[in-house]
Amino acid sequence: MPRFSANLGFLFTEHSDIDRISAAAAAGFRAVEMHWPYQVPAAEMRHALRTSQVSMLGLNTPVGNTAAGDFGLGALPGRESELQQALGQAVSYGNDIGATAVHCLSGLVTADSVSTAECTFVANLKLAADKAARADMTVLIEPINHWDKPGYFLHTIEQAASIIDQVGRGNVKIMFDCYHTQIMQGDLTRRLKQYLDLIGHVQIAAVPSRAEPAEGGIDYRDICRSLDRLGYGGWIGAEYKPRGRTEDGLGWLSAWTRDQSSDGRGAMA
């Protein structure tokens, strides 16, 4: 069974940003990820991670002007310098707290910008990859579904694979969020297998509720077993919206962790 990390943008939100780390550690997680941790000074974050003996896997680039509806800048023509600034902030903060990856959001496109979005994203990602490489970090790109984010530029795994191919840097990888991909495309097991070499991180949540992964239409235990068989060595991010208190909904984790006895490998170690 792969190892699970807690996405602190969605889990443990009963606690302050910083206290979510110790709450995740107390629940048994050894790694976390956070969408936008920038309001917490990096030194404070680093201290909390060290005290709880938890590592930070990844964080998102700042999304731009939220009041104007921005949700990422990566593929937006004319916003290149803002994107590089956002990227610089993410890499520098991530480096300070020992994060291993930065997720570069593509952003929302319009009928006017869609034709130039891809080459903008590719050019931006080349610079992003080089910047991240200097900090020994990976750049993740995540296909996001159009029900939740209509107009989001990057929305299929094949599109992500083609973009990575055009970028031509070894440290740009797919954040394969099974929730989004199931909604847009389905056929998760085949796509995980086909694109395994390009996958830098996996995330899970129930479909369609985006709640605890034990409910809904995807058999995640089976997905985890497939990932094991494929030799996936990365983490699986629990990025779902708990139905109640986070701790009360972690039954899936203890049940799946019990599956470990067969392979002797801890799900969270």
Ligand X SMILES: O=C(O)[C@@H](O)C(=O)CO
- Rank residues 171 and 260 by Cβ distance to ligand X and give the closer one: 171
14 part of the active site: no
Q: Which stretch binds Mg ion (CB under 5 A): 10-18, 37-45, 158-166, 235-243?
A: 235-243
CB of 209 to ligand X, least distance (A): 14
Q: In whole angstroms, how close is the CB of 118 to ligand X at the nearest point?
A: 20
Q: C-alpha angle 192/197/202, rounded to 5°?
A: 50
Nearer to ligand X, 4 or 264 (CB): 4
Distance (Å, rounded) from C-alpha 95 to C-alpha 113? Answer: 32
**Interface ranges with ligand X (CB under 6 A):** 35, 60, 103, 142, 144, 177, 180, 203, 239
The closest alpha carbon to 124, from 70, 90, 179, 167, belongs to: 167
Instruction: Draw the binding track, 169-198, toward Mg ion (x: CB under 5 A; -: no contact).
Output: --------x---------------------
Q: Which residue is nearest to Mg ion (CB)?
A: 177
Residue closer to ligand X by CB (options 102, 250) is 102
Please pick, among 33, 118, 212, 239, the residue that the annotation labels catalytic. Answer: 239
**Site map 22..61 versus Mg ion, x via CB under 5 A:** ----------------------------------------
Choose the contact partner of 131 out of ligand X, Mg ion, none; CB within 5 to 8 A by kind: none
Q: Are 204 and 1 in contact (CB under 8 A)?
A: no
Neighbours of 68 (CB within 10 A): 6
Q: Cα separations (Å) of 218 from 40, 237, 255?
A: 35, 15, 16
State in angstroms the smallest separation of the CB of 71 from Mg ion. Answer: 13
Q: Which is nearer to Mg ion, 50 or 146 (CB)?
A: 146
Task: Please report how close the Cβ of residue 184 comes to ligand X at its closest, in angstroms.
Answer: 12
Q: Does 212 bind Mg ion (CB under 5 A)?
A: no
- Binding site partner of 103, from Mg ion, ligand X, none, Cβ cut-off 5-8 A by kind: ligand X
Query: From the candidates 33, 118, 142, 212, which is the catalytic residue?
Result: 142
Choose between 20 and 180: whose C-beta lies nearer to ligand X.
180
**CA torsion angle 50 55 58 64 (round to 10):** -20
Active site (annotated) includes residue 239: yes
Q: Which among 52, 14, 61 has a CA at the least distance from the CA of 34?
A: 61
Tokens 């991180």 locate to 201
203 binds Mg ion (CB under 5 A): yes
Q: Which is nearer to ligand X, 118 or 142 (CB)?
A: 142
The contact set with Mg ion (CB under 5 A) reads 177, 203, 239
User: Which positions are annotated as active-site residues?
Assistant: 142, 239
